[in-house]
Structure 1
Amino acid sequence: MSADTSRRIIVLRHAKADWPNQVDDHERPLADRGQAQAKEAGVWLADSGISPDYVLCSTSLRTRETWKLAVHGLARRPRKTVYEERVYEASPGEIITVLQETPEEYADVLLVGHNPGVLGLTQILAGDEGDPEALNRLRLGGFPTAAVAVLSFTGSWKDVEPGVARLDTFHTPQD
C-alpha cells in the first residue's frame, strides 16, 4: 500500500463493566448491560459496512469480552487480532505509538480501549476536522461505554499523529 492509501481507525470503548469486590481493575468483567452494548456495537459496525482487517485490543478482561461479543455481529472476521498490553491505561500518545506500528498491509484498524485514552486519542487525531454533528456530540457527551468513533486519513500508519485524521462518525449505544 502506498502513502496515498485511505485508512480508517475505528475506536471502540469497552462496554459497561461490572465492579465486583476483590477484583483487580484489569480483570473487571462486563456487566449484563455491557454484554448487550457490545453485541449492539458489533451490529452497528456491520450495518455501517465497517469490517476492520486488524484489531488492537487492550488485554483487560472487559475489552476482550467487548471484542468477543462485538465480532459476532460483523459480516467477516478481521484478518488479525492483537491483544496489546500497552493499550490498557494508555495515554493518547501511547496509543498513537501503537497505531504507528501497524503493518502497512492493513487499511482499517479497530482499537478496543479505555477512557480517557480513547476520548483523548479521537480528539487529538481529528482536532476540528470531520462531521460537525459527530464532533459536537463527542465534545458535549464524551466517549461513553461501547461508543464507536470512525476516523479516516490518507497515508502510512507511520504518519498517524495529532490532527492527521477526520472524524467521520460517532455512534453511541441506545441504552
Structure 2
Amino acid sequence: MSTNKSNFKLLYLLRHAKSSWADHSMSDFERPLNKRGIQQASQIAAILASKEPRPQVIISSPANRAFSTAKTMAVALGSDKSKIGSDKRIYEANIQTLMYLIQELDDDLESVMLVGHNPGFSHLVNTLSRQKVAPLPTCSLIQLRLDINQWSELEAECAELLSADAPKREDQ
C-alpha cells in the first residue's frame, strides 16, 4: 500500500482513433483502426509518453478500435500490452456508467487512463471539468486533475482540465 498519497487523482481520457467503415459486414464492435487511425494513435502516443505522471493503468473498451488504440499507448509507455484492462461497460457508456466505473477504481492508483468512445467521453469531460470542451475528435487525449483523495469522491466539476491534445491532420 502506498504511503505517499497526493491530494488529487489524475485521469486521462482517450477517445479511440479513427476506425474503418470499409467492411459493412463487420459489427460496430469489431471495426478496426484505419490507416489514418493508426497514424493518429502513434501521434498521440508520443504526446502521452511526454506527460507526467504517466498513467499507472490503462482500462479500455473491448471494442476493437478502442483496444487497438490502448495497445499503441501501452507500447509508448513501455507497458505490457497484455496488462491493459478491459471493461465492457465503457462501450456505449453513458455519463452515469462512466462515473460509476471511475468511482470503483482502486484508491492505490493515482493516475488512470480510460480508452473509449463518444458521446460518453465528451459528456464526461464536460461534467467533471470546470472548463468545457467541444465534442472530442477521434484520438483526443484529455488530462484531468481531480480534486479528490479517493476515486469514490468523484463528482461533477471536481476536475481541472490540464491538457487537451488531438492529432494533427495531414493537411495541417
| 1:27-74 superposed Cα distances (whole Å, 9 cap, x missing partner) | 110011001111111110012334211211001000011111222222
Give RMSD over aligned pairs.
Answer: 2.0
TM-score by length of 2: 0.88
Residue number in structure 2 paired with 1:173: 167
Aligned length: 165
SS at match of 1:111: strand
Q: 5+ unaligned residues in a row in structure 1: which ranges?
A: 129-134
Q: 5+ unaligned residues in a row in structure 2: which ranges?
A: none
Give distance in 2, aligned partners of 1:163 and 1:77.
33
Determine if contact 1:39/1:72 at 8 Å carries over to the other structure: no
SS at match of 2:92: coil
Residue number in structure 2 paired with 1:158: 152
Residue number in structure 1 paired with 2:66: 63
Residues 54-93 of structure 1: pairs in structure 2 closer than 5 A: 54-76=57-79, 81-93=84-96
Of all paired residues, the percent bearing the same amino acid is: 29
TM-score by length of 1: 0.87
Corresponding position: 1:122 with 2:120 = no
Change (3 A) 1:29 1:44: same
Give distance in 2, aligned partners of 1:39 and 1:50.
19
